Amino acid sequence: MRTVRARLLEALTHQDCFVRSTVLDLFANAADLDPEVTRHAIAAVNRYGWDEAFEFPHHFSSLGLDRESIDWLVEQICDHSEAGPSHNARYHLQQWFAHAPLELLKSKA
């Protein structure tokens, strides 16, 4: 039997944007810093694109980071293609990066 948390993590990649957005809000407002949540949210962006993944993508910046998600975050900040994040989303991604734990950034220097 799957836990409620496992179901919620799966719902981050649900086919309905409203479901994905609601679950992202839940994790963001709970200040859940588990990078597993971030990996599922990243999977949704990779699957649906920035315009369709979440209603309010700035909620991303409340999630926890690990080295893998830092790499993805840097790629997204640098992606200025049409498929990349909007100017507003990029701003929030930059803020998220600026508040990343220093121990995760040390290996990037």
17 contacts: CB under 8 Å, gap ≥ 6: 48, 52, 53, 54, 55
Give per-residue pLDDT as tens, 39-67.
999 999 999 999 999 998 888 888 999 99
d(CA 81, CA 65): 24
Q: Answer with the residue of higher pLDDT: 109 or 79.
A: 79
Q: What is the pLDDT of residue 19?
A: 97
Closest listed residue to residue 68, CA positions, set 29, 31, 32, 41:
41
Distance CA 102, CA 23 (A): 28
Model confidence, pTM: 0.88
Residue 18 burial (C-beta neighbours within 10 Å; 0-12, 13-18, 19+): exposed
